[in-house]
Structure 1
Amino acid sequence: MTSDAEAYLKDFHQRRVGTTRRAFATYAARSAQAEYLSSYHALAERVPNDAMPRTIVDLACGDGPLLEILNDRGNSATKLIGIDISNGELAAARAVLSPNVRLINERAQALSLETGSADYVLSHMALMLMDDIEQVMGEIHRVLRKGGKFVAIVGRAFLLGEVGEVFLNVFRPIGKAHLAQIRFGDSRTRSEDGWRELLQHGFSDITFEDIDVDWLPTPEQLWQSMLETYDTDRMPEAGREQFKRELLTAVTPMQREDGKLKTGWALRLVHASAE
């Protein structure tokens, strides 16, 4: 049976196609090890850019920004496959991607791909939302060849810095009063120890890289981005109006001289090899 969380996510991404692209595709990302054009590029750079034949799966591909980056490399021997549960996101992806990119509408918990058929399984900001994560990881391991690579970007913290602290202080009481409880994903996907547990069977060479995405929105831009988050979307109108009023009141004094707020998103890159 489809859970309340999965049903909601399918509905949200049908109504708000391209949300994840809008949040992450245009902002530079950085870590202690490297700088990236975006968090999508951080994933793409884990795949060698050469003429070797490879099959790359983008799990929960959305409207296709990662697949675009990989396809634009022009490596004709690379086979790209995008998988997503949202028909709306896949339709948007089909409109911008090469016909050579294969797109599949199915759940990550039951992939139709052949065993050992993929060299890379990549995923951007999705695994921490999925039901039955152990089943998902089992499917990822099944479709990877021995020595194949699993690489994912997941959330580490929502908003960086003082803006993040203020956001939580405002949001928590409003969310408690107005939001029905829906459990998104497995808590193990939110920590390194949790990922080590999830990857302990069938994977080796597990590494992590903390990545920050810098963002300088105006207060109004910050609010517009909140409208494309699951929690704000689920709020009744009265709760949403209260959230907007209190959040803007709290962050407006934090503006820099140029009117912008200094914040961003904290992400984690997870990398492992299939045994």
Structure 2
Amino acid sequence: MTLLTAAETYLQDFHQRQVGVTSAAFAHLPASSRTGSWASSYDVLTSLVPAVDTPLSVLDLACGDGHLLGLLAARRQPRLHLLGVDMSQAELAAARATLPASVLLQQGRGQALDLPSASVDYLVSHMALMLMDDIEQVVREMRRVLRPGGQFAAIVGRTFLLGEVNDVFMRVFKPIASDALPPLRFGDRRTASEAGWRELLDASFADLASDDIDVPWMPMPAELWAALTDTYDIDRLDDDARQRLRSAFMDAVAPLQNGDGKIATGWGLRLVRARAA
């Protein structure tokens, strides 16, 4: 059995405790870019899968609770074959409870997919690849399971929060984190930039394209703080450090509230697309 890295062990534990946290954060918020708008960042990816009568296989890598697969299954596209792979058994159990039996679910890691070579037409992934260790091996596995000409599309993180609130948060977070946050590295920094993705995909993919995706949100301060507590670094703080951060953050964002008390912010994402060469 493959031993999990320290980051993977933490992520397993987090998603055991916080099943469905990613879809809870993103599924209800609209997304937009220079080129279009969508009901959510999940819909950005589903819009890239064509509605055709011919056979088509789609792999959702790190499918979580299956929200993206559910959107595709709702099409009732007769020859659409859906497969989800995730490291978390708890997330897969949640997916199984809501998805049609025809959707195949499999526990696994992106570094070693238990799938035949050249068996997938579309490989999609939502807010996961930037967390994966040994991303070069993940890319090799993605290319292996994709058919020649198959399409890859992923939503990854671009910036933490949109707008001025991001600077405010970082200003209060960094001093507390430097004292109280145990070191733990998530993923590969190259996944944070278009140049990095070009380096990662250049050997076996073609037609790389990326697009900045904004997910705007107007929460009350308490709503925003509740969402932040479901992020990995804040989850990893001990109770005392988390309370100190909450107090400092609430004071710091108060001047950013508009007339109804809400704050203009959201999440900054990136869409990365490429074709298997």
Does residue 1:214 correspond to 2:216, yes or no? yes
Structure 1 segments, 4+ long, off by >6 Å, are none
How far is the alpha carbon of 1:254 from its aligned partner? 1.2
Cα distance in 2 for residues equivalent to 1:32 and 1:111 = 34
Q: Give CA-to-partner distance per residue, 1:196-242, whole Å, 9 cap, x none.
A: 00001110010011100011110000110111011111101110000
- For 1:265, give the aligned amino acid: W
Residue in structure 2 matched with residue 62 of structure 1 by the alignment: 64
Residue 161 of structure 2 corresponds to which residue in structure 1? 159
Match of 2:138 among 115, 136, 139: 136
1:15 aligns with 2:47: no
Give the Cα–Cα distance (whole angstroms) in 2 for the partners of residues 50 and 248 of structure 1.
49
RMSD: 0.6
| Partner residue in 1 for 2:191 | 189
Counting only pairs closer than 5 Å after superposition, residues 112-127 of structure 1 correspond to structure 2 as 112-127=114-129
Q: Give identity over the alignment, percent.
A: 52
- What residue number does 1:253 align with? 255
**Aligned mates of 1:252, 1:10 — CA distance in 2:** 35
AA at the equivalent of 1:142? R
User: What secondary structure is seen at the aligned counterpart in 2 of 1:268?
Assistant: strand
Partner SS state of residue 225, structure 1: helix
- Distance (Å, rounded) in 2 between the aligned partners of 1:11 and 1:45: 32
1:79-111 Cα distance to aligned partner (Å, 9 max, x none): 000000000100001111011000000111000
Structure 2 distance, partners of 1:84, 1:32, is 31
Amino acid of the residue matched to residue 82 of structure 1? Answer: G
Shift of 1:2: 1.6
* Structure 1 residue matching 2:202: 3-state secondary structure: coil
Counterpart Cα distance in 2 of 1:211 and 1:3? 30
Alignment partners' CA distance in 2, 1:223 and 1:208: 30
For residue 84 of structure 1, what is the amino acid of its counterpart? D
Aligned to 1:274: 276
How is 1:3-42 mapped onto 2 (pairs within 5 angstroms)? Answer: 3-42=5-44
Cα deviation for residue 244 of structure 1 reads 0.5
Cα separation, 1, equivalents of 2:93 and 2:56: 25
Structure 1 residue identity aligned to 2:11:
L
Letter in 2 for 1:257: G
Q: Secondary structure at the match of 1:211?
A: strand
Give 1:52 deviation, angstroms.
Answer: 2.0
2:252 match: secondary structure = helix
Counterpart pick for 1:87 among 86, 89, 95: 89
Tell me how far apart the structure 2 counterparts of residues 192 and 49 of structure 1 sit (CA, whole Å). 28
Name which of structure 1's ranges 249-258 and 78-87 shifts more when overlaid on structure 2.
249-258
User: Could you tell me how far apart the structure 2 residues matched to 1:49 and 1:177 are?
Assistant: 51
Give me the whole-angstrom Cα distance separating, in 2, the residues matched to 1:246 and 1:49. 49
Task: After TM superposition, give the deviation of residue 253 of structure 1 in Å.
Answer: 2.1
Counterpart secondary structure, 1:131: coil
Q: Structure 1: which amino acid aligns with 2:40?
A: S
Code of the aligned partner of 1:80: L
Size of the aligned set, in residue pairs, is 275
The amino acid that maps onto 1:25 is: A
Q: State the secondary structure of the residue aligned to 1:63.
A: coil
Name structure 2 gaps, 5 residues minimum.
Answer: none
Q: C-alpha deviations, 1:7-66, integer Å up to 9, x for none?
A: 000100000001100110000000000000000000011111222210000000000110
**30, 43, 47: which one pairs with 1:45?**
47
Q: SS at 1:55's partner residue? A: strand
Distance 1:270 1:126 in 2: 12
Return the alpha-carbon distance in structure 2 between the equivalents of residues 178 and 186 of structure 1: 23
Distance in 1 of aligned mates of 2:237 and 2:169: 16
Q: Within 2, Cα distance between the matches of 1:271 and 1:223? A: 32
TM-score (norm 1): 0.99
